[in-house]
Amino acid sequence: MGKNWIKARTTTLKKLVTPNRMGLITDMDGTISHIVANPEDAVVTPRNYELLQQLREKLTLVSVVSGRSVRSVTTRLDLPGIVYIGNHGLERCVNGQVRHSFNIDRFRPMLKASAEKLQQIPLEGIQVEDKGATVTLHYRQTEDTQQTRYQLLPIVQKIAAQHNLEYFEGRMIFELCPPVEANKGSAFEELVNEFSLDSAIYIGDDTTDLTALKMAQQLRLERTCYAIGVGVMSENSPAGLAKEADLLASGVPDVENLLAWILENRN
């Protein structure tokens, strides 16, 4: 289980900020922006916005890797010089243009059909979001989220199977996606290799971030890169987050403190 990052300032984090080629890769919702009832209302906190802008001048790489569509991310954090990756690694924004990691077009009919079926579920408070490369079913605004999850799970499983799609769970969401190898962990590894990073930190708060936290351990073990994974804890943190993270932060305000520390101590 990870310990609070403050206790690692003279050890783990000192080793992280020392190498020449350092990268910062962060999730968005619940990490640099607060979780809100309506995902469209989410905004990056002003302090995190400013810190990321300044860190871009001191680091080899600053990247935001999100489950949102990449357009949704760039709308909320339109900073030059940052690498934006959306839909859990399926797409990237390069010079203002969206590029897909795989041939997503061939999966569009299945994704569209699944979205239409999800929209027919007679449950008040659910929201279906077609993100192009994936489809997300939100149930945060339902009256009893735990009961809703149990009701939705077999329905989502059936729809995914009918359309040859995969599904996974996040914080009060189900996501249907193409059957390809793409997640935040693979995106993290690609960035480390692409930018030849000597050290890297990944920060995230949700179930979908676990692959990246595990990847940090793997990269460190293989000595590919001195990679550290930070789990952002909250009242509704998913099982496994504290276990898989090397270090922990206490919510979005503590992420701001961590980024400020990295900025101040970066050589």
Is residue 171 within 8 A of residue 30, CB to CB? The reply is yes
pLDDT of residue 192: 97
CA dist 191 and 188 (Å) reads 5
pLDDT of residue 235: 85
CATH class of 106-177: alpha beta
Q: Which has more confidence, 98 or 30? A: 30
What fold does the segment set 3-102+181-265 form as a domain? Rossmann fold (3.40.50)
Domain boundaries in the chain? 3-102+181-265, 106-177
Each residue's pLDDT tens digit, 237-261: 888 899 999 999 999 999 999 999 9
114-125 average pLDDT score: 94
Amino acid (1-letter code) at residue 223: R
Phi, psi torsion values for 106, nearest 5 degrees: -70, -15
168-174 average pLDDT score: 90
The closest alpha carbon to 83, from 23, 18, 13, 17, belongs to 23
pLDDT of residue 1: 67
- pTM value? 0.88
